[in-house]
Amino acid sequence: MDFGDQTVIHDLSFDVHAGETFGFLGSNGSGKTTTLRALLGIYQPTSGTMHIGGRAFEPRDGARLGYLPEERGLYKKESVLDVMVYFGILKGLSRQEAAKRSRAFLERVSLADKATVRVDKLSGGQQQKVQLGVTILNDPELLILDEPTQGFDPVNRRLLMDIIEDQKRAGATVIMVTHQMEEVERLCDRVILLKDGVAEAYGTIEDVQDLYGGTIVEVHHSGPLPASTLYDITVTRRDYAELRPRAGTDEADILRDLVRAGVMVRGFTTARTSLEEIFIKIYGEQNEPAGV
């Protein structure tokens, strides 16, 4: 994908399996939004093909798809219910069915008393809920959510995650663009991490964790830790260390090695490298330009 003499996306290839939740990740300017807009026909790719359900996106496919853009788009001078019903009709619902589904959604997200209130009288978080309701009103087969929890407090973030999980259980395929790594770890089956328009990592959460460190051993101890061929010491503080096992090393071997060396081990636990740590490792030194 080129813009003038600037190439934004470089030979990017990935697929999203039916029924999964797919994390589409990257820092600002990495090419996430550009890729999604090309997928939806808003931009025309310079080369290559992008398919939804085996074919290029066409406007008539819109009824099967729910897209929550990063830039929100509601008619703010109209009432909440009127806006939701209008978009429901555009998605192929009858006025009666659109109203029924809209009221049920507003009840679930504690906005039933706001049905007749103008959208511009709502808080940013409340408007975000309405935008989500518009996105899922027609039970779409494919949900594309660009920063869905933006502006949400922890309680409403959890509510939104529950709603997304409900959509998935109903058979929807979900693509999530987000900087909230804990949401990705909770919801996503597979992920792709873009950097400068290139896939830096792609696969299951476990695949990506293995690629960038896999398991970490956390040790609470007394006495100095010896050097060893079994592990590398990545973090060390008084009476605490994080060890990264070397290839082929079992955590039990590390514990035995420490005990034999005379280290008094008071705590020994293992954990996977978090996606947040991986994200920082990939993008931490990158100057983030304005989003593309």
Query: What CATH number corresponds to the domain at position 24?
Result: 3.40.50.300
Predicted pLDDT of residue 292: 40
Both 111 and 158 in one domain: the answer is yes
Asked if residue 122 and residue 179 are part of one domain, the reply reads yes
Q: Are residues 148 and 237 in the same domain?
A: no
Q: Check residue 1 and give its pLDDT.
A: 55
Q: What is the pLDDT of residues 272-291, one digit of tens each?
A: 888 888 888 888 755 443 34
Contacts of 21 (CB under 8 A, 6+ apart): 164, 168, 173, 174, 175, 176, 187, 188, 189
Residue 288's pLDDT is: 43
Does residue 199 lie in a domain region? yes
Conformation bin of residue 100: beta by default, left when phi > 0, alpha when psi is -120 to 50: alpha
Angle of CA points 233, 235, 241, to nearest 5°: 80
Asked if the structure places residue 291 within a domain, the reply is no
Overall domain count for the chain? 2
Give residue 253's pLDDT band: very low, low, confident or very high (50, 70, 90): very high
Residue 88 lies in a domain: yes
| One domain, residues 147 and 66 | yes
Is the same domain home to 199 and 228? no
pLDDT at 7 (0 to 100): 66
Let me know whether 119 and 256 are in one domain. no
Last residue of a domain, one of 179, 194, 209: 209
Q: Do 188 and 234 fall within a single domain?
A: no
Rounded CA separation 232/238 (Å): 17
- pLDDT tens track for 46-81: 777 777 777 777 767 667 888 888 777 789 999 999
How far is 239 from 269, CA to CA, in rounded Å?
A: 14
According to the model, what pLDDT value does residue 95 have? 96
278 within a domain of the structure (yes/no) = no
The answer to whether residue 288 sits within a structural domain is no
Q: Which domain holds residue 197?
A: 2-209
Tell me, yes or no, whether 75 and 114 share the same domain. yes
H or E segment and range at residue 254: helix 251-260
Q: Read off the amino acid at residue 27.
A: S
Give domain status of residue 283, yes or no.
no
Q: Percent of the chain having pLDDT more than 70?
A: 93
Do 102 and 247 lie in one domain? The reply is no
Out of 209, 231, 261, a domain closes at 209
For residues 157 and 224, membership in a common domain is answered with: no
Residues 249 and 124 in one domain: no
